Structure 1
């Protein structure tokens, strides 16, 4: 069953729209709070379509993500208990609660231990929203939180932009050819990462 190929083709359509930069920024914003689709899904085809603007697109994604990260943090800090039923209905509650336990364990070490964990978390196939809500709930210091979000998400989007900027049409052809196995591998990695968070929270 092909799932990721059609999604990629849809993302390509969005990427060619004249409002695509605004869509990318908006997607990056809501993904940091609740939306399940990572902004790289739009960033990649947009960068492929206009390689010379890849770094500008990555910057727009960072701006949206950082704004969303702040909103997610404050929602986690002030509104998590009220929104628990919604997360349970969306199937997100176990991942967020596991993220809370992991962030709490790092906070017990030091705020900078949380910083390095969140920076590394930027490369994990775990949705950003898990870390934004968990950080707000636990009360990660704002300096460490903002820096970790900026570095963690920044290295992902800028490395993607760099790869496409250098790869050009070959990068697009490779991505289109292997999008289905890449999508399934990412899904498996996400499931493994959530299982690891659950395991960490219980030990």
Structure 2
């Protein structure tokens, strides 16, 4: 069924990717990445334009997914998401919401899990949009630039290496956020000690 929907959207080119990417942030279970690759294979010269279309649509869909989660909460998560995907997302958000969104931009878990989860857990919508903008830009434009510069040969690069590249970026971002939080915690502790001594 979902493959038929993707095939249908492919016929509409960039508009089909726009719809798919928008829905990816709200309800559709198949990541827009697959349609982006398929369309970029057809015409690599349009790959960066396709990346831009998918990226903008995803950002427009992000607040919609957020408000669905905000108002409908856990009930819709349990109906729309598989149990294992839901549990992974909940664990990530409990530990670190910012890292969850950034890492979610690079994982095979559909992005809707993170937009809806952010709303259900009352995470800041502005932080969600900001981190989504960063993470999704890397994912969409990495594919776009690969096809633009390497043409159809980029498909082999994506199949062989892109998952590892995304994983590496996600790890680096997670480490960066962890170090930032640790520094902030140390500074607040030092400020508290100085206040007590003063």
Q: Settle same-fold status: TM greater than 0.5.
A: yes
Matches within 5 A, 1:32-111: 32-83=25-76, 86-87=79-80, 92-106=82-96
Q: Which has the higher contact order (CA 8 A, sep 6+)?
A: 1
Secondary structure class of the residue paired with 1:164: helix
SS at match of 1:42: helix
- Return closer, same or farther for 1:10/1:163 CA change in 2, 3 Å cut-off: farther
Q: 1:22 aligns with which of 4, 11, 15?
A: 15
Structure 2 residue corresponding to 1:142, chosen from 119, 122, 125: 125
Between 1:119-128 and 1:72-81, the stretch displaced more is 119-128
What corresponds to 1:109 in structure 2?
none
Q: Structure 1: any 5+ residue segments left out of the alignment?
A: 1-6, 107-113, 190-203
Distance, in Å, in 2 between the alignment partners of 1:98 and 1:11 is: 26
Rg larger in structure: 2
Q: CA deviation at 1:12?
A: 7.3
Change (3 A) 1:168 1:76: same
**CA distance in 2: counterparts of 1:67 and 1:139, whole angstroms:** 19
**Shift of the alpha carbon at 1:102?**
2.4
Q: Are the aligned partners of 2:69 and 2:77 in contact in 1 as well (CA < 8 Å)?
A: no
In structure 2, the gaps of 5 or more residues are 168-198
Return the alpha-carbon distance in structure 2 between the equivalents of residues 13 and 133 of structure 1. 26
Is 1:84–1:93's contact at 8 Å kept on the other side of the alignment?
no
Runs of 4+ with deviation above 6 angstroms:
none
RMSD: 3.1
- Cα 1:165–1:75 shift into 2, 3 Å: same
Corresponding position of 2:145: 162
| SS of corresponding position for 1:33 | coil
CA contact (8 A) 2:77 2:116 kept: no
Count matched residues.
162
**Distance of 1:134 and 1:13 partners within structure 2:** 29
Residue 164 of structure 1 contacts residue 171 of structure 1 at CA under 8 Å; is this kept in 2?
A: yes
How much has 1:13 moved relative to structure 2?
7.9
Taking the aligned partners of 1:84 and 1:139, their CA distance within structure 2 comes to 14
Aligned-residue offset at 1:166: 1.3
Q: Given the two structures, how large is their TM-score scaled by the length of structure 2?
A: 0.69
TM-score (norm 1): 0.67
